[in-house]
Amino acid sequence: MSEPLVVMEGLTVRAPTRTLVDGVSFTIQGGRVTALVGPSGAGKSLTARCVMCVLDVDPGLVGGTLRYPAIDPKTDWYEGVRGEGMPAQRKLLARTRHLRGAYFTYSPQAATSALNPGRTIGRQLAMAIARRQTPPDSMAAEIRRILQQVGLEPRAAGALPGELSGGMAQRAALAIAVAPKPRLVIADEPETGLDPVLRRAVVELLVTVCKDEGAGLLLISHHQETVRRIADDVIQLRGQHGETGGAA
């Protein structure tokens, strides 16, 4: 049986004039694809940020518990944060800094947002690989392996992000997301801006690479066909109400 990576119970987040996420509960399992779906404005990206303890609204977190069982099944990372506003949320952000880019990685909607325009892809991969608990025997060989894994030629290591096509940039962003060997990859609508053929190829590559690396995948998507095809579990958000779906 797969190992639970994230257990969220009763997540409730408020802005000054309205509730943004209301009582959402779910479990994300290792080695499985979990899709986070819902209409625009339902709080998909906000929920994903809450998984990573990136809480940047005020009053923000007012209810819920968050556990990472693979690290410590007992610790509630939201303890002392609920209802305490931005000061407590900033402390939580600092306290969990070591987890972002290691226990979980995040790939935003636009690949250009995940890539530093002033650093080569190889340099960015090397920085991501350096976050592993166990470094590789050869950094150069590991960079070549990861590039090959996502369908890029070794020469892509010497390229700047602006020198890559849209599809290549998406693959490079995926390479950087999996390079630290995280337990969980969070991908925020990776299909954005891609034509249907390229969209299918990128998403299927994302699933394949995560499974090859033994990582769970939390996929934020509004493409129902994609969700039906690849998701093992579905978290359905409906406006201010969330519920956990079953296997897709």
pLDDT digits (tens, 9 = 90+) for 74-95: 999 999 999 999 999 999 999 9
pLDDT at 241: 42
Residue 33: Cβ-neighbour burial (10 angstroms; 0-12, 13-18, 19+): buried
3-state secondary structure string, 186-240?
Answer: EEECCCCCCCHHHHHHHHHHHHHHHHHCCCEEEEECCCHHHHHHHCCEEEEEECC
Question: Which pLDDT score, from 0 to 100, does residue 190 have?
Answer: 80
- Rounded percentage of the chain residues whose pLDDT exceeds 70: 94
The separation between CA 85 and the C-alpha centre of its own chain, rounded to angstroms, equals 24
Edge-first strand order for the sheet with 184-188 is 104-107, 184-188, 216-220, 33-37, 233-238, 241-247
Q: Are 236 and 17 in contact (CB under 8 A)?
A: no
Q: What are the boundaries of each domain within the chain?
A: 117-181
Token code pair at residue 18 = 């309205």
Residue 72, helix vs strand vs coil: strand
Position 129 scores a pLDDT of 95
List pLDDT tens digits, range 27-74: 999 999 999 999 888 999 999 999 999 999 999 999 999 999 999 999
Regions in the chain scoring below 50 on pLDDT: 241-248
pLDDT of residue 239: 63
pLDDT at 197: 75
Q: What is the pLDDT of residue 1?
A: 52
